[in-house]
Amino acid sequence: AQKVTQAQTEISVVEKEDVTLDCVYETRDTTYYLFWYKQPPSGELVFLIRRNSFDEQNEISGRYSWNFQKSTSSFNFTITASQVVDSAVYFCALGSGNTGKLIFGQGTTLQVKP
Amino acid sequence: EAGVVQSPRYKIIEKKQPVAFWCNPISGHNTLYWYLQNLGQGPELLIRYENEEAVDDSQLPKDRFSAERLKGVDSTLKIQPAELGDSAVYLCASSRGQAGDTQYFGPGTRLTVL
């Protein structure tokens, strides 16, 4: 069975702090895809990043970085120098390489205080 | 490029009434998804279309939910009759069509059943 676990329900930090959101997944697929989405208070899910199971290179995009480790089945997301606008719910999702079906974690609510 | 469009954004109805949600995917996207998002949880897939064909409707409660995607573009999700437990956000997403392609989400319809 496929499963995504985001153990951190809520995180609160002060602006400019670094914060890491954890994501652990389970799958039997050899080909799969991992995603992070941001859901601000407006409600729309905003795509942040997609990785496939064959590409373990870490990625950095501005203040965002992602650490994909197949050995620990983790795909963690770090925000450097957090800002108030980063406050949102962040979802990690696992996509099947066969069906494309997305399984989402429960989400982590990030609150960045000024 | 226009994103996924959904309407209405909000809907309040009384239980036992019917309700319908409409979705227009990103132009050129063959695959369309309907998700249900309960408060404090990640989205869960209800149905997936590839062009006009519903290829995965295993999670759709068929006694009261129905969906259609005529001509392989717009889609409508219907609930009849609505129950109190149907109060949630209904999200539509689309992707190009290959397994693992990024799914782009619309703003969702927030349904309240009284």
Shortest Cα–Cα distance, A39 to chain B (Å) = 10
Question: pLDDT band for position A16 (50/70/90)?
Answer: very high
Indicate yes or no: CB of A100 within 8 angstroms of CB of B98: yes
A110 close to A43: Cβ distance less than 8 angstroms = no
Please state whether beta strands A19-21 and B5-7 pair in parallel, antiparallel, or not at all (unpaired).
unpaired
Residue A6 has pLDDT above 90, yes or no: yes
Residue B66 has pLDDT above 90, yes or no: yes
Q: Is B94 on the interface with A (CB under 8 A)?
A: no
Shortest Cα–Cα distance, A92 to chain B (Å) = 9
Residue B6 has pLDDT above 80, yes or no: yes
Kindly report the backbone phi and psi dihedral angles of residue B110, in degrees, each rounded to the nearest multiple of 5, phi listed first. -90, 115
Please compute the mean of the pLDDT values over residues B61-85 and round it to a whole number: 95
pLDDT at B98: 81
CA distance B13 to B112: 6
Please compute the mean of the pLDDT values over residues A10-16 and round it to a whole number: 97
Sign, CA dihedral B46-B50-B54-B56, equals negative
Each residue's pLDDT tens digit, B33-56: 999 999 999 999 999 999 999 999
Indicate yes or no: CB of A106 within 8 angstroms of CB of B56: no
In 3D space, the residue among B95, B86, B103 whose CA is nearest the CA of residue A94 turns out to be B103
